Amino acid sequence: DAGITQSPRHKVTETGTPVTLRCHQTENHRYMYWYRQDPGHGLRLIHYSYGVKDTDKGEVSDGYSVSRSKTEDFLLTLESATSSQTSVYFCAISETGTGPYEQYFGPGTRLTVT
């Protein structure tokens, strides 16, 4: 299994509170991604990073920000959590090379916003 950990694994927070989720990899992969998974929607890309301090928005980036100060860590911040951000969040990594960039996923963080 790819060396990807996410913390915390479960979190309950209140509306309006800032929340930071952490993804840590030991594979030295260049690309890192944050997705959210909701019933009936599959996985939707929030933000991704293509190197240290290089990030870009995905399809559902409103209300989220990211940072990557080291190759191994990619942080997702909910600036002011809302109930619509209750979801399961997955981090993924991939690497450059020939062929497609298959992604490897972490175990997920279940976030509940009350």
Partner 1 sequence: AQSVTQLGSHVSVSEGALVLLRCNYSSSVPPYLFWYVQYPNQGLQLLLKYTSAATLVKGINGFEAEFKKSETSFHLTKPSAHMSDAAEYFCAVTNSGGSNYKLTFGKGTLLTVNP
CB of residue 41 to partner 1, shortest distance in Å: 6
Name which of residues 10 to 69 contact partner 1 (CB under 8 A). 31, 40-45, 48, 50, 58
d(CA 31, CA 94): 5
Question: Which residue lies nearer to partner 1 by CB, 4 or 76?
Answer: 4
Which residue matches tokens 């992604």? 103
Question: Which residue lies nearer to partner 1 by CB, 14 or 102?
Answer: 102
Give residues in contact with partner 1 (CB under 8 A).
4, 31, 40-45, 48, 50, 58, 90, 92, 94, 96, 99-108
